[in-house]
Amino acid sequence: MAQAFIDGRPVAVLTAAAEAAKLLAASRLPLVAGLGTDVAGARAAIGLAQRIGGVVDHMHSQALLRTLEVMRQTGTMMTSQSEAALRADTVLLVGPGLAETWPELAARLLVRAPDPRFAALPRRIYWLCPGPRPGLDTAEIAIETIGASPLILPGMLAALRARIAAPPSGTLAVSNGALDKLARGINAAGFGVAVWTAELDSLAIEMLCGIVKDLNATTRFSGLPLWPGDNAMGVLEVCGWMTGLPMRTGFARGVPEHDPWRFEARRLVASGESDCVLWISAYRPLEPEWDCEVPSIVLTSANADFRRRPHVHINVGQPRRDHDGIDWLAATGTLAGFEATHKSAAISVARAIEHIEGALNGATAPPC
Amino acid sequence: VLTCIRGGHVIDPASGRDGVDDVFIGDGRIVAAPSCERHVDQTFNASGSVVMAGGIDIHSHIAGAGVNAARLLLAEQQPPNRPAAALGPGRSSFATGCRYAEMGFTTVVEPAIAPHAALQAHLELADIPIIDKAILVVLGNDDFLLRLIRAKESAAALRDYVGLTLGASRALGVKVINAGGAAAFKANVRQFSLDDVVPAYGVSSREIVKALQHAVIEAGVPHPLHVHCNNLGLPGNVETALATIAAGADVPLHLAHLQFYGYGTAGPRGFSSEAARLAEAVNASRNLTVDVGQVMFGQTVTISLDVLRQFNSRGSARPAKWLIVDGDANGFGIVPYKYRPGNFYNAIQFAVGLELFLLINNPAQVLFSTDHPNGAPFTAYPDILALLMDRNLRAEMLTRLPVEAMEMTTLASIRREYSLAEVAIMTRSAPAKVLGLADRGHLGVGARADIAVYANEVDRAKMFRAAALVFKDGELVVREGQVINAHWGRALDVRPEHDASMTRRLHRYFAERYGLTPEVIRVRDRLIERPEPFELVPCRA
């Protein structure tokens, strides 16, 4: 199978890289987006953007920034999946999408008992507003559900926070009794964790983080945000140490500048500010998320079924499958190194970008 | 290629040199003077300048998950139209290396990395140019070690676990941070001192410190256990530090950022300097080295794996936001903070640090640090050196501080001024020795050619802020305070031998706890994409 294409025609990878370099060099504001890649790929991609005065954004920036924004406005408390599994005697699940984001939620946290050294009783599990499809088989797990529709979640969280701190007030779509009981339950936690995904809106996350902080006045409670995939957290870490800033950072003025609105990939494409896109999705063949005409260089893990054929397309290997790679490991909340499960000759994102950089230098990239 | 740094005032405490001399560099090392001057290929005129070995920083938080979280927490503190790198804690890894090199520092130790976070720390360190780096790996709140101690396992088992962890995380030494305190905090303990017991484990903080201290010695690690004591920052905590010294200084021991433990409870506000008592204890303990953790006034951010301390100080966060991570083992906490000269407590903290520098007699025992960025960003070093070298400058500074605070310290009465030779001991030869780096911190033949040349200015802050010339491994990397050549340094590590049975035990533990192999957190050379990412430091036989 060919690895690289220009306008759909199979070409050598170096030819594709040279074409990509030509497009990027001619661009007013090149955009490096998607960024679904391992640490080596992220370092290469961010380094390239820095060099050519471009912009970096990740396909999950919006979701990441919802929790990150709360963190950098007010701060928060968090724990890791493994620490939650080891210690939590109380679990507060919040909102929809949890099992979809963390398929091992039930196996690694809900049906597992905490280590008896830290908690004598089985975990108590509450689920606030799971939505119509909790996404897991609740028959075997004793979960107390409070509220249903995620639409009422912000109000529920506000009422819950008030109940933790002070006598109950106000009325809600659920009986006050259920909420009172939940407040008592989480107040009684020895070590509790609140679990949420980026599906929640920022206000709900802020209220939830506030609840966690308030609970720590007397007991121990921590947050367990379930981060999006495509190594979003790994790329965030890389972006952090390379630039001092998260994604949605631009280098056009010679220094890194971060602006969640100005450097949003979709907006840059729609407004025409960016006239060339390097799109990276190495974990799955995901095509760019917009449907408009912009010259594009696409690095994906296999032949994607493109709505709009990219000008340059390079098939790259999938990190951890085709080649070794360093990825975010949610269990510990740190970066970890993984061996390839099906080592192949597919080129990595890092190597593909090295070839592009080599072409920008007017020379071929160095051999391995 | 033979290079000569000619006619500078060479200050090399290790060899006792303190006078005008030439220094020769060949093949990245210091070499003897050639038999014939014609052999010299390249000469740098250093007359009127001071020539020292490159600086060594034993305690500076420059990488790791906590540092990176602080970057993201303070992402708004980025001045527009200025290189983002110039701000406070050194925003990017790249800037960190440049700023250090410009000051003539060539080796820096990141002292607080959890074993499972070592890979990220090394990836960050690999992106810090010019300087060489090392990490200290943090143990003492981790479930595996606390279980070993609770089960009263043999000294050999502890040694093997420590050796294995050092090798897997590619660390230069071991640090313990509020031993047992983070584990206790997860059980809702809010105060934790040396003889308090970690719930569910039944081991005291003292037992953890002693066990690790001996395991580090048994493993042959040159750097003694690096201890962050309990009760950091609290009034009256001098007693904790003194008790830790009494408990631990029978064998080699390093106490980190001692300034933060120099507090008594005297005076109208129940907060006073006890630096004199602490200094006396250090002077009496030959096995003990400390670093200071000097406070300087201004905005900074505190980054610590002492999660209990960080949680308890959350109310003082400026700006008012903070992050506490109840992560595996220690976790970490980020609390931005602003030290203000008009603040009674901050003024005492400032004084305690300087008192320790000036009242500890042997500069080889009192190493230079701000606990970057906890006391101040490392970019404040030149100003601190100036204060140590000039009592008039200190007197001038004291006039800006609250009188009632200065009455709680002895600083105003201290006349001592550091000499350049003492500065060289404190920032070069002594840290090299305590870290076990035989070819650093001095200018003897065979030493690594890491050299800083400073214009000998009356304004010492100016002098140390921008080195005239800096050589790293014999290559000129800084000229007139500007980086001209940013190559990549290495990370220094020890790899003690350990019994394979401990490896198997850890594999079983990881399988049960994480459903993973510990191989995923092992730091392997090829994961760090630099030509020679590591340099082995030998263990004692």
- pLDDT for A127-168, tens place per residue? 999 988 878 876 778 999 998 888 999 999 999 998 887 666
CA dist., res. B122 & res. B118, Å (int): 6
Q: What six digits make up the tokens of A128?
A: 């606030």
> What span, in angstroms and rounded, lies between the C-alpha atoms of B325 and B114?
13
Cα–Cα–Cα angle for B151, B157, B161, rounded to 5 degrees: 110
A101 by Cβ neighbours in 10 Å (0-12 / 13-18 / 19+) ranks as buried
Gap between the Cα atoms of B174 and B156, Å rounded: 16
Reported as half-sphere exposure (CB side, CA atoms, 13 A), residue A185 has a value of 23
Greater model confidence, B385 or A200: B385
Distance CA B59, CA B293 (A): 9
Is the pLDDT at B88 greater than 70, yes or no? Answer: no
Contacts of B99 in chain A (CB under 8 A): none
What are A157-176's pLDDT values in tens digits? 999 998 887 666 666 666 77
Partner-chain contact B71 A245, CB within 8 Å? yes
B453/B46 Cα distance (integer angstroms): 7
Q: Which residues of A touch B75 (CB under 8 A)?
A: 72, 244-246, 258
CB spacing of B83 vs A255 below 8 angstroms: yes
Strands B29-31 and B17-26: antiparallel
Q: Tell me if chain A has a CB within 8 Å of the CB of B40.
A: no
Longest dimension (CA), chain B: 72
Look up residue B138 and give its two tokens.
């943090």
Task: Give CA–CA dist B221/B214, Å, rounded.
Answer: 10
Q: Which residues contact A346 (CB under 8 A, 6 or more apart)?
A: A3, A315, A316, A317, A318, A322, A323
Query: Residue A57 has what DSSP assignment?
Result: -
Indicate which of B150, B324, B335, B529 best probes the interface with A, i.e. most A CBs within 10 Å of its own CB.
B324
Q: Between A46 and A112, where is the model more confident?
A: A46
| Model confidence band, residue B504 (pLDDT cutoffs 50, 70, 90) | very high
Q: Residue A93: left if φ>0, alpha if ψ -120 to 50, beta else—which one?
A: beta
Mean of pLDDT values over A46-70: 95
| Interface touch A72/B321, C-beta < 8 Å | yes
- Report residue B49 as tokens: 């300048």
Say whether residue B93 is in contact with chain A using an 8 A CB cutoff: yes
Question: DSSP of B218-244, one letter per residue?
Answer: HTT-SSPPEEE-SSTT-TTTHHHHHHH
Tokens of B539: 């263990």
Number of neighbouring beta carbons within 10 Å of residue A171: 9
In sequence order, what are the residues at sequence separation of 6 or more whose Cβ sits closer than 8 angstroms to the Cβ of residue B270?
Answer: B235
Distance CA A74, CA A202 (A): 12
Inter-residue contact A296 to A33 (CB < 8 Å): no
Name the pTM for this structure.
0.96
Inter-chain contact A117–B200, Cβ cutoff 8 Å? yes
Q: Which two tokens stand for residue B185?
A: 């905090």
For an interface test with A, give the residue of B77, B116, B326, B523 to mutate (most A CBs within 10 A). B326
Tens of pLDDT along A230-282? 999 999 999 999 999 999 999 998 888 899 999 999 999 999 999 999 999 99
| A193's tokens | 């964790």
Q: What is the mean pLDDT of chain A?
A: 92
The model's pLDDT over B481-496, given as tens digits with 9 standing for 90+, comes to: 999 998 999 999 999 9
pLDDT above 70 coverage of chain A, percent: 95
pLDDT for residue B297 = 96
The residue among B82, B170, B302, B325 with the most chain A CBs within 10 A of its CB, best to mutate, is B325
pLDDT (0 to 100) of residue A122: 87
Strand partners, A76: B323
ipTM of this predicted structure: 0.96
**Which among B124, B321, B325 has the least Cβ separation from residue A74?**
B321
pLDDT at B270: 98
Q: How far apart are CA A197 and CA A228, in angstroms?
A: 8
Block residue for tokens 């950072």: A249
A221: closest chain B residue by CA: B186
Q: What is the DSSP letter of A142?
A: -
pLDDT above 90 (res A293) = no
Query: Does the pLDDT at position A367 exceed 70?
Result: no
Between positions 285 and 324 of B, the ones with CB within 8 A of A are 311, 314, 317, 320-324
Phi, psi at A319, each rounded to 5°: -55, 140
- Which residues is B298 bridged to in the sheet? B339
The span from the CA of B5 to the CA of B17, in Å, is: 15
Query: Distance, in angstroms, between B173 CA and closest chain A CA?
Result: 21
Give chain B's mean pLDDT. Answer: 95
Kindly list the distances between the CA atom of residue A338 and the CA atoms of B172, B513, B530, in Å, as whole numbers in the listed order.
24, 18, 18
Query: In this structure, is the dihedral angle defined by the CA atoms of residues B191, B196, B201 and B202, taken in order, positive or negative?
Result: negative
Confidence band, pLDDT 50/70/90 cuts, at residue A199: confident
Closest CA to B394 of B414, B422, B369: B414
Q: How many residue pairs bridge chain A and chain B with CB atoms within 8 Å of each other?
A: 174
Place of tokens 């100003």: B383
pLDDT at position A365 = 45
In chain A, the largest separation of any two C-alpha atoms, in whole Å, equals 72
Give the chain B residue whose CA is nearest to the CA of A64: B72
Written as six digits, the tokens of B419 are 């000499």
Could you give phi then psi for residue B524, rounded to 5 degrees?
-105, 145
**Contact assessment for residue A179 and residue A155, using Cβ atoms and an 8 Å cutoff:** no
Measured between alpha carbons, how far is A89 from B269 in angstroms, rounded to an integer?
Answer: 41
Nearest to B58 by CA among B378, B431, B535, B424: B431
A257 with B127: Cβ contact below 8 A: no
The pLDDT score that the predictor gives to residue A171 is 63
8 Å CB contact of A75 and B513:
no
Measure the CA–CA gap between B372 and A273, rounded to whole angstroms.
40
**∠ CA A295-A297-A300, rounded to 5°:** 140
B454 in Cβ contact with B36 (< 8 Å)? no
- In the chain, the amino acid numbered A273 is E
CB contact under 8 A, B143 and A86: yes
Q: Do B187 and A220 touch (CB under 8 A)?
A: yes
Is pLDDT of B81 > 50?
no
> pLDDT tens, B315-370?
999 999 999 999 999 999 999 999 999 999 999 999 999 999 999 999 999 999 99
Q: Work out the angle at residue B141's Cα, subtended by the Cα atoms of residues B140 and B144, and round it to the nearest 5 degrees.
A: 85
Average pLDDT over residues B395-401: 97
